[in-house]
Amino acid sequence: MRLRKRKWMDSLLEESAYLLKEDDVEEFLKRTQNLVLEIGSGKGKFLLEMARKNPECEFLGVEIQRSALAISIKTIGEEKRNNLHFICSDIQKLFFKFSDESLNAIYLNFSDPWPKKRQQKRRLTYPSFLKEYYRLLKRGGKLYFKTDNEDLFSDSLHYLKDSSFILESMTMDYNGEDSMDALTDYEIKFRSQEKKITRFVARKGE
Ligand SMILES: C[S@@+](CC[C@H](N)C(=O)[O-])C[C@H]1O[C@@H](n2cnc3c(N)ncnc32)[C@H](O)[C@@H]1O
């Protein structure tokens, strides 16, 4: 969903230490260890909670919408989180900047479903994306995917089957019990509507 642009957003983003400037991205990726990536971090609730719970890891949110990022930064407020970072970009434009086997984990939370046939290659679980994730993850690194959308979930399982990933677990009615997880903004809304949430965890072999 497109978020409305507000006047305060640009100055907040410009001044924020959480938002990586385009020129600094490559240097950041080169020097950062124990990196966990969320693609489509939206309003940032998930990543903030993960960064609080796992201070030993560095968390990077890539989000294409500046307005969503501005809300993330507003939500963090005065809290000092040295292990939390954001980039405003389409992930497809960033892949080439990441080294092979540089990520501990990748999270895709309630990704856009792109239901029309001609749009499906934009899905973040589409085979071309899975191929990049496989390259970026360390051996044993994990891809976490959760969604409320049945078609997206079942198609994504098919994409996964044709990839090099190993399916580690799959849940048709996920209740959020994994310690390596946190609630997202969309998830809170869907849970309040008693929608079923599905999830898989896939692994890159050792
Ligand atoms: C449905 S929202 C879910 C947001 C959040 N993960 C949550 O669960 O609350 C999907 C988000 O992914 C972002 N997005 C979609 N495609 C993207 C891409 N190629 N690169 C970066 N962000 C993307 C959208 O702008 C949107 O904020």
Specify the CATH number for 7-98; select among 3.40.50.2300, 3.40.50.150, 3.30.479.10, 3.40.50.300. 3.40.50.150
* Centre of ligand 1 from the C-alpha of residue 87, in Å: 12
Point out the ligand 1 atom lying closest to the alpha carbon of residue 40: 12
**pLDDT tens digits, residue range 168-197?**
999 999 999 999 999 999 999 999 999 999
- Indicate if 90 belongs to the active site: no
**CATH class as words, domain 107-206:** alpha beta
Backbone CA torsion sign across 185, 109, 177, 44: negative
Those residues of the chain that have pLDDT short of 50 are none
- C-alpha–C-alpha distance, residues 203 and 143, integer Å: 6
pLDDT score, position 201: 98
Q: What is the pTM of this model?
A: 0.97
Point out the ligand 1 atom lying closest to the alpha carbon of residue 122: 19
pLDDT score, position 7: 80
Q: Which residue has the tokens 């239901």?
A: 115
- Distances in Å between the alpha carbon of 80 and those of 66, 128, 140, 199? 21, 36, 31, 31
| Span(s) in the chain for CATH 3.40.50.150 | 7-98, 107-206
* Centre of ligand 1 from the C-alpha of residue 38, in Å: 9
Which contiguous run of DSSP H or E holds residue 142? Answer: strand 137-147
Residue nearest to atom 27 of ligand 1 (CA): 42
pLDDT score, position 25: 95
